[in-house]
Amino acid sequence: MNALQIMIAVWTFLVVGFIALMIYRGHLTQHETDQLFLNEESGPSSVHQEHDEIVRRVNFIQPICKGVGGVAVLMTLLIVGVYIVQELPNMHF
């Protein structure tokens, strides 16, 4: 295996992980409610607690999504650059 094949394998792993994270985040935000809780006298309701838990999870996973997505973009650029460098000597102008 040459370096390009290894980079493509790592890139595939990163892209699949990024897609899985995006699907998970979308699933979480699908259950998020857009409500304003005004009555807090009787204590926080179960809907309010569930909403806070969803927001906490989304806020936790957001930097991970950005990081994995950024690394996938950088790997894409690196793979394209390595491919061009490898194929440049074979091109006849």
Residue-wise pLDDT for 34-92, tens only, equals: 665 566 565 667 777 888 888 899 999 999 999 999 999 999 999 999 999 998 888 88
Q: What is the pLDDT of residue 33?
A: 61
Going from the C-alpha of 91 to that of each of 27, 40, 73, 84, 86, the distances in angstroms are 47, 71, 26, 10, 10
Considering only CA atoms, give the Rg of the chain: 22
- Model confidence, pTM: 0.77
